[in-house]
């Protein structure tokens, strides 16, 4: 996890080296805090979906409320960084577009934490939806059709959160259940959902790439370089996911599938960090010859 945090903190500066693009003030801290937002959203959404996937039987201790509180703290941390680099007081920072969206995200997390509980955990879905929408709008400030980019990000971020958080929850649940058949059924339900989530991620990721990244600056901009790194990591994730699926389908062995699934989760943590970097580096259109 320290390596993932280091990747998030230094990724923007490393990707922008030699491109001629201006460095982002406070980019390292912003990226690290944004990665925390993505991770905590995944933990909470994945827990809500994972509890349904798991079915009857022992369930792990809920992490949703703690994750939501941490997500809210990460949003307020981003507002503090924004105020510092913009030389604004906090109230003035809240009045900016980014500050207002970060405040909405923080409020969504706070409401999700208040709603999280054993009686009606599904009440957290609506505030978490607010988090997803606010983050999607924050990630697309460009003047050219931001509504399309935001819509793609809503689907992409939701699918990614369910995939990462759902896998974490299933692996945690697997350790609590000795029953072989019940564990296999749970893992199979998750694998079926993950297939659809993968398709949604691939489709929205392709559309976002075609929309935001001109072909002539793929390797000469920080955005293009980070995106290539993300694609390489996704190839690693896909290989581990296929290995887990093969062991699960051919051998009906949840324990055998758990080993590559854990490696898949580690690779997904790196993808989360790289995705956070992608939201901080400059828009590549200004360097394009188009």
d(CA 139, CA 172): 31
- Which pLDDT value is given to residue 150? 87
Indicate the pLDDT class of residue 180, thresholds 50, 70 and 90.
low
- Which pLDDT value is given to residue 92? 84
pLDDT tens-place string over residues 213-225: 777 777 888 888 8
- Mean pLDDT for the stretch of residues 161-188: 87
Query: Tokens in use for 47?
Result: 């827990």
- Mean pLDDT for the stretch of residues 60-69: 93
Q: Between 19 and 108, name the one with better pLDDT.
A: 108
Indicate the pLDDT class of residue 289, thresholds 50, 70 and 90.
very low
Percent of the chain with pLDDT over 90: 45
d(CA 27, CA 281): 8
In the predicted structure, residue 290 carries a pLDDT above the cut 70: no
pLDDT tens-place string over residues 75-99: 999 999 988 888 888 888 888 888 8
- Which pLDDT value is given to residue 284? 73
Q: Between 56 and 159, name the one with better pLDDT.
A: 159
DSSP state of 25: T
pLDDT tens-place string over residues 118-148: 677 778 899 999 999 999 988 876 666 778 8
Least trusted range by pLDDT, from 55-69, 160-174, 180-194, 208-222: 208-222
Indicate the pLDDT class of residue 63, thresholds 50, 70 and 90.
very high
Residue 20, phi-psi category: left (phi > 0), alpha (psi -120 to 50), beta (remainder) = left
Distance of CA 222 to CAs 184, 214, 219, 233, Å? 42, 13, 8, 17
Q: Is the dihedral of CA 272, 160, 288, 285 positive or negative?
A: negative
- Mean pLDDT for the stretch of residues 27-52: 92
Provide the mean pLDDT of the chain.
86
Quick check: helix, strand or coil at residue 100?
helix
Q: Under 8 Å CB-to-CB from 55, ≥6 apart: which residues?
A: 182, 185, 186, 189
Question: Whose CA is closest to 27, among 40, 39, 41, 14?
Answer: 14
In the predicted structure, residue 285 carries a pLDDT above the cut 70: no
Indicate the pLDDT class of residue 54, thresholds 50, 70 and 90.
confident
Percent of the chain with pLDDT over 70: 94
Q: Which helix (H) or strand (E) holds 79?
A: helix 64-86
- Which pLDDT value is given to residue 141? 66
């Amino acid at each position: 996890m320290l390596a993932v945090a280091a990747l998030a903190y230094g990724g923007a500066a490393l990707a922008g080296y030699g491109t001629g693009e201006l460095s982002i003030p406070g980019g390292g801290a912003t990226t690290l805090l944004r990665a925390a937002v993505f991770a905590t959203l995944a933990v909470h959404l994945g827990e809500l979906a994972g509890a349904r996937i798991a079915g009857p039987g022992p369930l792990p201790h809920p992490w949703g409320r703690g994750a939501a509180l941490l997500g809210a703290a990460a949003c307020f941390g981003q507002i503090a960084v924004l105020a510092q680099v913009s030389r604004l007081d906090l109230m003035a920072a809240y009045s900016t577009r980014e500050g207002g969206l970060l405040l909405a995200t923080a409020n969504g997390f706070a409401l999700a934490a208040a709603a999280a509980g054993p009686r009606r955990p599904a009440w957290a879905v609506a505030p978490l939806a607010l988090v997803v929408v606010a983050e999607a709008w924050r990630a697309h400030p460009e003047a050219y059709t931001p509504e399309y980019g935001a819509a793609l990000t809503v689907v992409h971020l939701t699918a990614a959160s369910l995939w990462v958080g759902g896998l974490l929850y299933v692996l945690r649940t697997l350790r609590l259940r000795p029953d072989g058949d019940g564990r296999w059924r749970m893992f199979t339900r998750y694998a079926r959902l993950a297939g659809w989530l993968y398709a949604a991620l691939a489709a929205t990721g392709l559309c976002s790439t075609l929309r935001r990244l001109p072909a002539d600056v793929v390797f000469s901009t920080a955005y293009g370089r980070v995106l290539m790194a993300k694609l390489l990591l996704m190839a690693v994730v896909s290989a581990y996911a296929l290995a887990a699926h093969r062991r699960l389908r051919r051998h009906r062995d949840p324990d055998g599938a758990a080993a590559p699934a854990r490696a898949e989760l580690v690779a997904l943590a790196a993808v989360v960090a790289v995705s956070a970097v992608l939201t901080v580096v400059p828009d590549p259109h200004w360097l394009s010859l188009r």
